[in-house]
Amino acid sequence: MAPKEQLAGPMKNRILAVLALPLALAMPNHAKAELKVGDKAPEVTGVTDAGQPVKFSDVYSKQRYTLVYFYPKADTPGCTAQGCSIRDGYESLTGKGVAVIGVSHDDVASQKAFKEKYHLPFTLVADTEDAVIGSFGVTTYPGGMAHRSAYLIKGGVVVYTDYKGTTTTQAQAILDFIAADKG
C-alpha cells in the first residue's frame, strides 16, 4: 500500500477536476466572433440528417430567406421546444420564402431520430466536426455543443440574429421580423 502522502496529490487533482466540471460546462467557448447583421453568410457544407451533404450557399440562393438555427442537443427540452416552434410555424415560414436548417453537434443518427420523433419537416445538420458551428462563430460548450442561436439570411447576408435562441416562439420571432423587413 502506498503512503498516504503519495495518494494525496493525484486524489486531490481528481477531486478538483470533478468539482470544476460543472463550472466548465456552464461556461461557453468564444472561439470566433458570432456573425452579426450585415455579415456575409458562410458558404459552408454540412451533413444532413439523411447523411447527405448540403451546401448552404445553394440553399441561400434558392429561397428568399434561409433560417439557420443552432441548438445544443437533439431531443432535450429546450431544443425540442425550439424545433417544434419552427415545425408549427413551418407552413407560414415557407409561405414567406424561408428555408430552414437546424444545426447541432449531434451525429446523423441522433438528428434523424429527433426529426422523425417530432415530425420536423426541415433539414437538420449533424455538425460533429463543428464546421458549420465554427463558420457562424456560434459559441459552444465543452464537448462542442452549440449555444442556442438563430440567423436569418437574405441574399447571402445575415439580416437578423437571435443570440439567445428563442425556444417556444422562434418561428413567430422570424415571421415578425419578415413582416417588418422592407428590403
Q: What are phi and psi of 103, to 5 degrees?
A: -130, 135
Sequence-separated (6 or more) residues with CB below 8 Å from residue 60? 41, 66, 153, 155, 156
Contact 96/65 with Cβ under 8 angstroms? Answer: yes
Pairing mode, strands 65-70 and 53-55:
unpaired
Contact 171/92 with Cβ under 8 angstroms? Answer: yes
Taking the domains of the chain in order of start, what are their residue ranges?
4-180
CATH 3.40.30.10 fits 4-180, yes or no: yes
79 tagged catalytic: yes
Tens-place pLDDT, residues 14-58: 554 444 444 444 444 445 688 999 999 999 999 999 999 999 999
Task: Name the catalytic one among 68, 79, 101, 153.
Answer: 79
Tens-place pLDDT, residues 68-104: 999 999 999 999 999 999 999 999 999 999 999 999 9
Sequence-separated (6 or more) residues with CB below 8 Å from residue 105? 72, 73, 127, 128, 130, 133, 140, 143, 144, 145, 146
Tens-place pLDDT, residues 90-139: 999 999 999 999 999 999 999 999 999 999 999 999 999 999 999 999 99
